[in-house]
Amino acid sequence: MMPTVVVDGPPMKSIEQKRTMVQRLTDAAAEVYGYDKMKISVIIRENPPENVGRGGRLIADLRGE
Amino acid sequence: MMPTVVVDGPPMKSIEQKRTMVQRLTDAAAEVYGYDKMKISVIIRENPPENVGRGGRLIADLRGE
Amino acid sequence: MMPTVVVDGPPMKSIEQKRTMVQRLTDAAAEVYGYDKMKISVIIRENPPENVGRGGRLIADLRGE
Amino acid sequence: MMPTVVVDGPPMKSIEQKRTMVQRLTDAAAEVYGYDKMKISVIIRENPPENVGRGGRLIADLRGE
Amino acid sequence: MMPTVVVDGPPMKSIEQKRTMVQRLTDAAAEVYGYDKMKISVIIRENPPENVGRGGRLIADLRGE
Amino acid sequence: MMPTVVVDGPPMKSIEQKRTMVQRLTDAAAEVYGYDKMKISVIIRENPPENVGRGGRLIADLRGE
């Protein structure tokens, strides 16, 4: 099958950072599965700090302290 | 492990509503798992009504009737 | 249960295209499960080309070549 | 990009039912996106009735009544 | 729309624990969205400790120390 | 926030392969985000070949030819 790697994290700083993320995650998955890199898809989800919580509090609030 | 709660729903009305959502979902998950609240992450996904369907019709269309 | 179909793809061109997507995916899932269409939810996720990778490269970069 | 369709539903009855599900969801997504079918991936997630809830109650309990 | 809450955590201990999880997450989501409880779905995903990692190590290995 | 990497792929061959997958994906995500590794979670989802399709056909069928 075609593995898919989805990373849910904060907004990214630049397209260069996204480029490296896709490259690095793809290399990792392809090597460990023993698959050709062309079989690996990556999706980056950027979540704003007011839509993510940890320990019951919004990241947006934790940062503001 | 660190449980993650992801809620896929409509756009939210205010940061206060998001704050309460994260608080309430975290409390629920932490109590039921018997975990410290700091181990629980929450992600809120806000889906526009033209990207969600029910019964084969867009929410955006159902509302317009 | 209420099945949910989530489709992760590129940005869509129009609300008409989303309408057809929801209709078609719902019909397919309802018929195969043997469920009433009202039990099927669909979520369309639109991913910008700089947030998706294939073969270790961003879709945004693959298109630019 | 390579769209992925994920369907979260109940356990399926046979491999034939899964075969039809993949076929039907792929046809729908490929036609609406205007993509070749080879670009579409489908993942079927089968959820036991004790792991799914609706209206605050387990599907396993709703069925037992 | 019909919000869906998905919780990804460890294997659960009993159906009673799942029952309470669904009840609690549904109550939280319904109240915060201001929706009828019947509109909320919950999916519990149970992940074995050898399929989850934190800080680069499997939960299965962290526990064994 | 605490990024989560979810990889949806085929069944894995050994716990050693899972160990390496978690290690490699965590290293990649931590370095690119510039985060401490302890902030990164990974979930491996193993999908049986009869639950995944590509080009409208089950992986289970593609392999059998």
CA distance B65 to chain A (A): 30
Q: Which residues pair with A45 in a beta bridge?
A: A8
pLDDT at F48: 97
For the whole model, what pTM was predicted? 0.97
CA distance E23 to chain D (A): 4
- In the sheet that holds F41-46, the strands lie side by side as C57-58, C52-54, A41-46, A4-9, F4-9, F41-46, E52-54, E57-58
Per-residue H/E/C for chain F: CCCEEEEEECCCCCHHHHHHHHHHHHHHHHHHHCCCHHHCEEEEEECCHHHEEECCEEHHHHHCC
pLDDT at D39: 96
Look at A44 and C52 and tell me if their CB atoms are within 8 Å: yes
Chains F and C touch (3+ CB pairs under 8 A): no
Mutate to test the interface with A, among D4, D37, D40 (most CBs of A within 10 A): D4
CA distance A50 to chain C (A): 19
Q: Residue F6: phi, psi to the nearest 5?
A: -115, 125
Q: Domains, chain A, ranges and CATH?
A: 4-63 (3.30.429.10)
Q: CA of D5: which chain A residue's CA is closest?
A: A4
ipTM metric: 0.96
CB A8 within 8 A of CB A47: yes
pLDDT at D22 over 90: yes
pLDDT at E64: 67
The string of pLDDT tens digits covering residues C39-56 is: 999 999 999 999 999 999
Look at D23 and F56 and tell me if their CB atoms are within 8 Å: yes
- The residue behind tokens 């992600």 is B43
| pLDDT band with cut points at 50, 70 and 90 for residue C1 | confident
Q: CA of F3: which chain B residue's CA is closest?
A: B41
Q: Can you spell out the DSSP letters for D4-45? A: EEEEEESPPS-HHHHHHHHHHHHHHHHHHHT--GGG-EEEEE
pLDDT at D23 over 70: yes
pLDDT at F63: 80
How many angstroms from the chain centroid is the CA of residue F36?
Answer: 21
- In the sheet that holds D41-46, the strands lie side by side as B57-58, B52-54, C41-46, C4-9, D4-9, D41-46, F52-54, F57-58
The string of pLDDT tens digits covering residues F7-47 is: 999 999 999 999 999 999 999 999 999 999 999 999 999 99
pLDDT at C64 over 70: no
Mean pLDDT, rounded, of chain B: 96
Mutate to test the interface with C, among D1, D6, D62 (most CBs of C within 10 A): D1
pLDDT at B17: 98
What chains are in contact with A, requiring at least 3 Cβ pairs below 8 Å?
A: B, C, D, F
pLDDT at F65: 61
The string of pLDDT tens digits covering residues A1-16 is: 799 999 999 999 999 9
pLDDT at E65: 61
The string of pLDDT tens digits covering residues D35-49 is: 999 999 999 999 999
| pLDDT band with cut points at 50, 70 and 90 for residue D64 | low
pLDDT at B13 over 90: yes
**Chain C residues within 8 A of E4 when measuring between CB atoms:** 4, 41
- The residue behind tokens 């039921």 is B32
Interval D39-65 mean pLDDT: 94
Q: CA of F46: which chain A residue's CA is closest?
A: A3
Mean pLDDT, rounded, of chain C: 96
Look at C50 and A18 and tell me if their CB atoms are within 8 Å: yes
From first to last of its 65 residues, chain E has per-residue pLDDT tens of: 799 999 999 999 999 999 999 999 999 999 999 999 999 999 999 999 999 999 999 999 998 66
Q: What's the rounded Cα separation, in Å, for the pair E42 and E39?
A: 10
Look at F40 and E55 and tell me if their CB atoms are within 8 Å: yes
